Amino acid sequence: MNFWEYLSRSLNWYHYQQSPTYSTHKKAWFDISVSELKAYLSLWLLMGIVPRPELKWYWSTDPQHVMPLFSETMTKDRFETITGCLHAADSNGKHAAGDHHRKFRPVIDLLSHQFLAVYSSSKRITVDESLWRFHNQACSRVKVYKLLVAHGPAEGHVCAFKTYMGQDKGELPASMKAIVDLMGAAELFGKGHILFTDNRYSSPALFHYLQSQHTDAVGMVQPNCKYMPKDLQVKVFGGVDYRSTTTGMLALQWFDKKPVTLLSTVHTSEMVTVLSESGRECTKPKVVVDYNSGKKGSDLSNHLAQPHPAFCKSKWYKKVLFYLLDMVVVNAFLVHKALGGHMAQLEFREELARELQLEYYQTILGCRSRSSLTSESCLQGATKHTQIRTPGNKYRRCRVCYSQGIRKETRTLCSLCMVALCQYECFDQYHSKKKY
More confident call, 416 vs 58: 58
Domain assignment present for residue 46? The answer is yes
Q: Which domain holds residue 171?
A: 105-301
pLDDT > 70? residue 27: no
Same domain, 77 and 128: no
Same domain, 173 and 272: yes
What is the end-to-end Cα distance of the chain in Å, rounded? 41
Boundary (domain end) residue, out of 325, 347, 369: 347
Calpha distance 50→309 (Å, rounded)? 10
Distances (CA, A) of 397 to 140, 141, 406, 413, 414: 40, 38, 10, 10, 13
Same domain, 165 and 17: no
Same domain, 83 and 213: no
- The answer to whether 126 touches 107, Cβ cutoff 8 Å, is no
CB atoms within 10 A of CB 15: 22
3-state secondary structure of 413: strand
Number of domains in the chain: 3
Band of the pLDDT at 108, cuts 50, 70, 90? confident
Same domain, 71 and 151: no
pLDDT > 50? residue 368: no
As beta bridge partners, residue 217 has 195
pLDDT > 80? residue 413: yes
Band of the pLDDT at 399, cuts 50, 70, 90? confident
State residue 240's pLDDT score: 94
Calpha distance 319→324 (Å, rounded)? 9
Same domain, 110 and 76: no
Same domain, 76 and 140: no
Domain assignment present for residue 62? The answer is yes
199-226 pLDDT tens trace: 999 999 999 999 999 999 999 999 999 9
3-state secondary structure of 124: strand
- The answer to whether 333 touches 149, Cβ cutoff 8 Å, is no
State residue 96's pLDDT score: 61
State residue 169's pLDDT score: 64
Query: How does the average pLDDT of the chain come out, rounded?
Result: 81
**By percentage, how much of the chain surpasses pLDDT 70?**
82
Domain assignment present for residue 63? The answer is yes
Domain assignment present for residue 100? The answer is no
Same domain, 71 and 145: no
Find the CATH number of the domain harbouring 232.
Answer: 3.90.350.10
Same domain, 176 and 285: yes
- The DSSP annotation for 261-309 comes to EEEESS--S-EEEEE-TTS-EEEEEHHHHHHHHHTHHHHHHHHH--PPP
Domain assignment present for residue 249? The answer is yes
Domain assignment present for residue 95? The answer is no
pLDDT > 80? residue 361: no
Mean pLDDT to the nearest integer, 251-258: 92
Mean pLDDT to the nearest integer, 381-392: 72
Domain assignment present for residue 330? The answer is no
Same domain, 169 and 81: no
Same domain, 294 and 237: yes
State residue 259's pLDDT score: 92
pLDDT > 70? residue 24: no
pLDDT > 60? residue 314: yes
Mean pLDDT to the nearest integer, 361-366: 62
Calpha distance 228→250 (Å, rounded)? 10
Element containing residue 399 per DSSP (H, E): helix 399-403
> What single DSSP character describes residue 57?
G
Domain assignment present for residue 229? The answer is yes
Same domain, 134 and 231: yes
